[in-house]
Amino acid sequence: MSRLLILLAATLAPHPAAADDSEIEEVLVTATRRAVSSEEVSSGLTLVDRERVQANELVTDALAGEVGVFLQQTTPGQGAAIIRGLKGSAILHLVDGMRLNNAIFRSAPTQYLALVPTSAIERIEVLRGTSASLYGNDAVGGVVQLVTRVPKFESLETELRGEALLAFDTAELAKTFRTSVDFGNSELASSFSAEYVRTGNRRTGGGERTGPGAYESRAARYVLSANPRDDRSWLFDVQYLTQPETPRIDELVAGFGQTEPSSSEFLFAPNRRIFAHGKYTVTGGFAGLDWNTDLAWQRIDDDRVTRDTGAPNRRREANSSDLFGLTFSGSRINDDGSWIVGAEVYYDKVRSARIDEDVTTGLQVGVPSRFPDGATVRQAALYANVLKVVGDRHRFSGGLRISNDEVTLPTTTVSGAATIDGTDLSGDLGWIFDAGRNLQLVANAGFGFRAPNVFDVGTLGNRPGNRFNIPNTALDAERVVQADFGIRQHSERAKLELMAYALRYTDRITSIDTGVVTPEGRDIVQSVNAAETSIRGVEAGLEYRFSDTVNARVVLNYTWGEQIVSGADPEAAGRIPPLNGVVEISYDAGEKFHIEGWVRFADEQDRLSARDVRDVRIDPAGTDAWASVGARLHWQGDGNWRLAAGVDNLLDERYRVHGSGLDAPGRNLSFSVHRSW
């Protein structure tokens, strides 16, 4: 670790010429639940702008190669962010401040973030660390917030504008089409967007195509924004995305240690998300505060068609979550800092049904569902957070949150009725020290929790890694204590962030092998509060402008973890990413041409937990190191035409990202054309 820190300091420290005292463009973010400058946020903060997001098929793809984020992909059409060694339900996912996490989120990587339309995204804000007072439950490793685009016009005259994009690539034979049309004026504006993605089987390094992995995605969005007065606004937003039949390739292809795949059939059919959101904002309202009220509903369908290898029955599942949320907050921003108080209530209801179908006769028989049908989760919280400027150089922040979470399970054929009700307190402290005009020292400490959800307590059925899960209705909340310290520099020429962190995650819910095997040969496991994990690491990022035409970007992430499960001897924590990063150089060749090249890389990962070793997606000898070289050319034509052509994995290396369920794409040629009007 000491050698790594020395290397980081030597490699990433900006040249003294970077200490430019020019005014820095202010970037406003909503990571603190009110719009403040990114320089006012003490936590590690990763921002992904619209241009980077729109260059990808899925919104999750844009998180690859970012500071503090490691992207895992179990199957094409999906993706999961790993932040500070944590994933799934240990990361809170938000869309415009409303929860995407629902009652059936897994503690393992989940596919649901990829169900947000890429065309809807204005930027991604990743808050790394425990934002305990502001976000509470699930915000253990961090928060991923998707901020969507809102149509805006500057004048009262009615205007019409739009854009369209068409893209192709060779590695997955992907065809992508997106379009949006905005209509309105400064008082009333609306936008409609749609997108379509269709891929083939993935070509991996060396030329082999693996499958079945082809998927299709269709999405649409409508948003209406009203600003009847300067001090208030309304927003109504509806989003829809469906993947009708997405194969789970890691179940359909033999993994490490297997002679045949776990399943002969495995389709998400469909994975679908519908989201409706209303927002009302008043600036300088009652008591001089800025008031925000949000009301949202989200429906996620996680239907499946599966059949174990050699099994006579095909299993059809219908699983859904209906999540209703209401949040309310009042805030004030002034020269001495800012503060916010708020309340939120969420109610989630799960529906689940399952039948077995004889593949020979077609006879169908009802069987116990994956989740207890009719299970509910209720969440309520009150919170307050303050940012205070002290003197000329210090800013302190702090907050507390009290949360109540209740899981209610009905009686099923495999478990009795149960209610798990817990009240938890969480909080955090932050410090920013202005060591110079463009240099800051930051530190944070917090304690938080993750309450068990329906997936944790009630799941019955197959899990990845040739496992079969049985319910456990006696689970408690997980606890985390986390601290970090960092250096940030931001000038006209350079932007540097270097953060070191440590966390201790106790009462962690983990799958324990019961020692029993199903007739199909799957290990029967059960979730219990049996793990304690310690994780520490370093997150570093540098953007440096050598001249008006040449820019560089370097990212380096390192994570180390150790865990104790059921009182056994310490072992490596599960699914910890290896040392990874990216080096990127860009060049503006005149007004029309922009060229960028990059190397993405990861070191080997041979520190595996016992569960990693048994996971058929991970080589028991460890995941090999890899590097991928790529380049892209952008051309800005006359008028509003833009073209882009690129190549990724130029050397056609065959490699696998650690923990993923399939090899990464091989040499990939891509082309896109964009037109705006």
**8 has a pLDDT exceeding 70:** no
* Token pair listed for 143: 């928060």
pTM above 0.75, yes or no: yes
Least confident range from 170-179, 507-516, 593-602: namely: 507-516
Tens digits of per-residue pLDDT, 332-388?
988 888 999 999 999 999 999 999 999 999 999 999 999 999 999 999 999 999 999
pLDDT band at 235 (very low <50, low <70, confident <90, very high): very high
**427 has a pLDDT exceeding 70:** yes
Cβ-proximal residues to 592 (8 Å cutoff; 6+ apart), any chain: 635, 636, 637
Tens digits of per-residue pLDDT, 263-321?
999 999 999 999 999 999 999 999 999 999 999 999 999 999 999 999 999 999 999 99
More confident residue, 646 or 28: 646
Cβ-proximal residues to 236 (8 Å cutoff; 6+ apart), any chain: 223, 224, 276, 277, 278, 279
Which residues are registered as beta bridge partners of 104?
none
**DSSP tag of 14:** P
Comparing CA positions, the residue from 552, 559, 549 lying closest to residue 603 is 559
Q: To which residue do tokens 């970077």 refer?
A: 18
Tens digits of per-residue pLDDT, 125-138?
999 987 778 898 99
Across residues 45-73, what is the average pLDDT?
Answer: 93
pLDDT band at 234 (very low <50, low <70, confident <90, very high): very high
pLDDT at 33: 83
Cβ-proximal residues to 201 (8 Å cutoff; 6+ apart), any chain: 172, 173, 209, 210, 211, 212, 213, 214
Identify residue 475 by its one-letter amino acid code: L
pLDDT band at 261 (very low <50, low <70, confident <90, very high): very high
**4 has a pLDDT exceeding 70:** no
Mean pLDDT of the chain: 91
More confident residue, 581 or 13: 581
Least confident range from 9-18, 129-138, 228-237, 620-629: namely: 9-18
Which domains are present in the chain?
2-676 (2.40.170.20)
Within 13 Å of residue 19, how many CA atoms lie on the same side as its CB? 8
pLDDT at 469: 86
* Cα 351 to chain centroid, rounded: 24
What φ, ψ does residue 18 adopt, rounded to 5°? Answer: -75, -10
d(CA 422, CA 588): 56
3-state secondary structure of 113: helix
| Cβ contact 302:454 at 8 Å | no
Comparing CA positions, the residue from 676, 665, 674 lying closest to residue 644 is 674
| Cβ contact 356:126 at 8 Å | no
Comparing CA positions, the residue from 139, 113, 158, 107 lying closest to residue 33 is 139
pLDDT at 416: 82
DSSP 590-624: TTTEEEEEEEEEE--B----HHHHH-TTS-TT-BP
